[in-house]
Amino acid sequence: MTDTFADLLACEDIVMFANAAIAGTGQREFRSTAAAQRFGLRFLHDYVCGNYRDVYTAMLAIDINDHNAATIIHTLLATSAQATPQQRRAERPLIDRRLRGLPPQRAYKLFHALQRDRVNNRRTRAIIRDYRAARPDPALDAVKYRAALKAATRHAHLRLPGEYGTFLYDPLRPARYDTPLLETWRRAHYSASALYDLPLTVAEGFAAKHGIARTDFLRAIAPAATRGEALRLQSAAARADAPALRVDLHRVPLTRLAGYVLSLDLDERARRRGELTGALAAAARTAAGRRAGTWGRTAAVLDDSYSSFGSPAKRRRPLAVALACHYLLDALAERHTSHWVSGRTDPLMAYPRGSSPLAERVLDALETAPPRLIVVSDGHDDTPDVCASVLSAWRHRVDPGRATSVTHLNPVFDAEEFTPVRLSPAIPTVGIRAAENLPALVGLARFAEGTSGLHDLRSHLADQVERYLADSGDPR
Amino acid sequence: MSPLPGLRTAAAQVWGGIRLVPLIRDEPITDLRLHARIDDADLTVSRTRDGGPYLAYVPHAYVATWAAGGAPAAAFGTQIIDSGTAPDAVTIRVHQRFVQREARSRLRFLPLHLAMEGYLALHFGGPSVVWPEWSKQAVRAGLSPRAERSYSGHHIADLEEALRVFEILPGQCGVVVYVGDSPATAFAVPHPDDYRALHPTLLLDMYGELVFVNGLLGPRAAPLHTPFDHRRVGGIADLRAVLAEQRRAWAEFHDTLMAGSLRITDEHTVDHVYSAGNYRLERFLPPFRPKAENHIGERIVAADGTVAYLKTFRLSENQVKRGYVLAALAAHDWRLDAAADALGTDRGGLVARLDRLGFGNLLRRDLRDRFARRR
């Protein structure tokens, strides 16, 4: 099947949106403000939803980030009137499935946003009702997300069972609750000893109210902390001498772990080298799963220039992605070599500093003629046009037979270009948010290269949707 | 060849209308370093020498508390001193805007309009011979105090962002700032650590009106490169050669064409201020050629000609005109008639010109009135 010119354009639009939805989070980046990022993403969402609604919906099935997943659901619900009945029928299972996969705070935040923007139709109300009904622990939700649940209840005209209505609207009237967690919450208002059975974020508020010292609080709250909360509190836990808060690093997801490692100063990283390297390698093996060791020989060019600092809102995120990719590729490949842009060689000691002579490093890596080359960078070379030109010349003159496949993974969404910056037209660029998605993204790269057409892309997405819906949908 | 001996040009980094060209020193200078504040516990500049005395330089308008418990003071003119002594400094009155900066306990500079006034006073001492035409005030106080209008880096479009996203290179000791692809200032220090500490101060610097206008109206700076013939490429080695050639060509283009005006030539007036050890502190004035790029500045030069420290200020067209007339006057010992001859005018013309350029108060009142009546 040959594609028309319009098909090619459509394909390009869709790939552009997919890349943006994977990388962009609406947060401040190294080179642009949060407002510019949000504006760029907003435009893309409106444009793609208006022109390719079915593809827009299907995006929920691929590895786009949670921020954009929530935005897609919001946009779909807000434009319900424009959808045909078939489209609405197709959208519903995907929305339900993706909502279940979102962290609950994100889902409740979405409901809050729907209320704020006055998006209220029968479908929206049904979706909120079903989501709440399917939550495993209603008492925990009620205590932990009280304000958001209240907003959602009011917005979707929900009738809550048992004591929950009273709990949301007149919480301190009953002399006691029958649900244990609600009763603990009530007692925590008056007794400091009750608050340690509450979720950490809720207990923090009560601890402040009762004037409990932070160190005492951290020591006693440790059993209630989730893994994410505990990871955030690692250095505080060390200061407060609260060993129960220490996280078993082997169970932290790869990119998170990389971010944590980079937050430590160089001395500490050197001191805990064995532990950290072991944890990173273990996390990478988990992420690689059955694909471990199947990729043959690989090489990577990883950006640790100053711009990989990211921004105060996503501190060292691009560098963390690069570091995680290093360990993941190590696990995926039989033999792997990384070339850091700065020329430093110790991945554990990576820090964002210096300029980006990307072109030279890419040539260094190409010289070893690896069958697969991955470049993780924000795409800003210090000689931009030269780099693009050199890589085109390499693709067309030195390696026309495609003995080496090159993929550029870009963790930064460029709001002005509406897509992550490309290194060169000859090399496909795909957005990346978490290193765990690397294998799937490399699969997506053939669409970014323009070698596969719209037809392929649609069938690829249909395939993804089917597989996604068949998946159980338990939150990861 | 680089217009700044001892410094090598690297690939420019571009943001909006700003082009920042890094200057690399292959071997950092270690026996002349930024002066550490004497009472300072929080200085970010690391020391390569342990404890021993070294030669220190204090940039013009560098503000610090030089004595424990003392008031903040600004260095007046760049100085070279022993590491253990405090420089000559002008105590400054702390006002509201300044206090905020003080609180951040960093290296910092005066709001630089003060510094610009200082510059002109340093460069032109006023009439050296008391010819009767000059007013008493001019003879007594020289050109000082006079106000020069200048803009802080915050007012230059895109400069703040450009400096923030700039990636400092390993070994970088300086930078040439282009605004609207016209040179605004060149800045170089002896050691990369000093540069890292002083990089943000480029934003606190002053820039002339011309630079401000270039920032508003100048073109967006585009990355520059020469296209190369893809058919010549046969392997990776060729691509490496292409890259190296591109970098070399860029450096050469920059050094000869873009930064040519930064080269100190015989036409510059170089005032040798002070020598210490191996180093010579100089202030230089351009030839004041109207419609050309003119920079005034200070530099510290080693005995072998290496530029250890450099700071330039791009003069606006009006300032060049003023400099041109003042330079002619100074060259003729401040004699009105001789200077008028040299400028191709007569006494009346010169008086009118001085009046127009804002130097009227240097002349005696009755002289100005007489020529004003005649016009």
Query: What is the secondary structure of A112-174 as a DSSP string?
Result: HHHHHTT---HHHHHHHHHHHHH-S-HHHHHHHTHHHHHHHHHHTT----TTHHHHHHSTTSS
**At which residue do the structure tokens 């030669």 appear?**
B55
pLDDT of residue B141: 63
Note whether residue A383 is domain-resident.
yes
| Measured CA distances, B27 to B24, B46, B171, B176 (Å) | 9, 17, 8, 19
pLDDT of residue B131: 74
Domain extent for B228: 8-260
CATH of the domain at A434: 3.40.50
Residue of A nearest to B245 (CA): A386
pLDDT of residue B132: 75
Of A307, A386, A394, which has the smallest distance from its Cβ to B246's Cβ? A386
Q: What is the pLDDT of residues B166-197, one digit of tens each?
A: 999 999 999 999 998 889 999 999 999 889 98
Beta-bridged to residue B280, according to DSSP, are B275, B301
Tell me which chain A residues have a C-beta less than 8 angstroms from the C-beta of B225: 383, 385-386, 389
Note whether residue A409 is domain-resident.
yes
pLDDT of residue B143: 61
For chain B, say whether A368 makes contact (Cβ under 8 Å). Answer: no
pLDDT of residue B49: 43
Note whether residue B280 is domain-resident.
no
> Long-range CB contacts (< 8 A, 24+ apart) of A364-370?
A364/A301, A364/A339, A365/A299, A365/A300, A365/A301, A365/A337, A365/A339, A366/A394, A366/A398, A366/A399, A366/A404, A366/B236, A367/B236, A368/A299, A368/A337, A369/A403, A369/A404, A370/A297, A370/A298, A370/A299, A370/A337, A370/A404
For a pLDDT cut of 70, what percent of chain B falls above it? 73
Q: What is the pLDDT of residues B260-288, one digit of tens each?
A: 888 888 888 787 877 888 888 888 888 88
Pairing of strands A429-431, A314-315: unpaired
Note whether residue A35 is domain-resident.
no
How far A377 CA lies from chain B's nearest CA (Å)? 14
Tokens of B110: 């005066």
pLDDT of residue A447: 82
Examine the predicted complex and report whether its ipTM is higher than 0.90. Answer: no
Touching B: A residues 304-333, CB under 8 Å: 305-307
| Measured CA distances, B159 to B19, B59, B201 (Å) | 9, 21, 12
B370: Cα within 13 Å, side-chain hemisphere? 9
Q: How many domains does chain B have?
A: 1
Note whether residue A285 is domain-resident.
yes
pLDDT of residue B35: 73
Tokens of A425: 């037209």
Find out whether A306 and A352 touch, Cβ atoms under 8 Å.
yes
Give the mutation candidate from B13, B160, B164, B167 for the A interface (greatest A CB count, under 10 A).
B167
Tell me which chain B residues have a C-beta less than 8 angstroms from the C-beta of A366: 236
Q: What is the pLDDT of residues B235-260, one digit of tens each?
A: 899 999 999 998 898 889 988 888 88
Note whether residue B344 is domain-resident.
no
pLDDT of residue B282: 84
* pTM, full prediction: 0.88
For chain B, say whether A425 makes contact (Cβ under 8 Å). Answer: no
pLDDT of residue B241: 92
For chain B, say whether A32 makes contact (Cβ under 8 Å). Answer: no
Q: How confident is the model at residue B96 (pLDDT cuts 50, 70, 90)?
A: very low
Distance CA B337, CA B372 (A): 17
How far A392 CA lies from chain B's nearest CA (Å)? 9
How many CB pairs below 8 A link A and B? 75
For chain B, say whether A383 makes contact (Cβ under 8 Å). Answer: yes
Tell me which chain A residues have a C-beta less than 8 angstroms from the C-beta of B167: 305-307, 354-356, 382
Of B225, B234, B236, which has the smallest distance from its Cβ to A363's Cβ? B236
Note whether residue A400 is domain-resident.
yes
Q: Do B242 and A393 touch (CB under 8 A)?
A: yes
**At which residue do the structure tokens 């919906």 appear?**
A57
Q: Do B167 and A382 touch (CB under 8 A)?
A: yes
pLDDT of residue B98: 41
pLDDT of residue A410: 94
Domain extent for A353: 268-452
Distance CA B133, CA B32 (A): 46
Q: What is the pLDDT of residues B214-230, one digit of tens each?
A: 888 888 888 888 888 88
Q: Do A307 and B165 touch (CB under 8 A)?
A: yes
Q: Do B165 and A30 touch (CB under 8 A)?
A: yes
For chain B, say whether A263 makes contact (Cβ under 8 Å). Answer: no
Q: What is the pLDDT of residues B25-42, one digit of tens each?
A: 998 888 888 776 543 433
For chain B, say whether A400 makes contact (Cβ under 8 Å). Answer: no
Note whether residue B317 is domain-resident.
no
Q: Do B231 and A397 touch (CB under 8 A)?
A: yes
Q: How many domains does chain A have?
A: 1
For chain B, say whether A427 makes contact (Cβ under 8 Å). Answer: no
The pLDDT profile of chain A, 476 residues, written as one tens digit per residue, is 556 788 888 888 898 999 999 999 999 999 999 999 999 999 999 999 999 999 999 999 998 999 999 999 999 999 999 999 999 999 999 999 999 999 999 999 999 999 999 999 999 999 999 999 999 999 999 999 999 999 999 999 998 888 999 999 999 999 999 999 999 999 999 999 999 999 999 999 999 999 999 999 998 998 888 888 999 888 888 888 888 888 888 889 999 999 999 999 999 999 999 999 999 999 999 999 899 999 999 999 999 999 999 999 999 999 999 999 999 999 999 999 999 999 999 999 999 998 888 999 999 999 999 999 999 999 888 888 888 999 999 999 999 988 999 999 999 999 888 889 998 888 999 999 999 999 888 888 888 776 678 888 888 899 989 999 988 655 44
Note whether residue B352 is domain-resident.
no
Residues B147-161, mean pLDDT to the nearest whole number: 81
For chain A, say whether B294 makes contact (Cβ under 8 Å). Answer: no
For a pLDDT cut of 90, what percent of chain B falls above it? 15
pLDDT of residue B70: 58
Reading across the β-sheet that carries B55-58, which strands appear in turn? Answer: B32-34, B55-58, B79-82
Beta-bridged to residue B307, according to DSSP, are B301
pLDDT of residue B149: 67
- Secondary structure of chain B: what % helix, strand, coil (to 5)? 35, 25, 40
Beta-bridged to residue B186, according to DSSP, are B176
Note whether residue B164 is domain-resident.
yes
Note whether residue B171 is domain-resident.
yes
Q: How confident is the model at residue B77 (pLDDT cuts 50, 70, 90)?
A: low
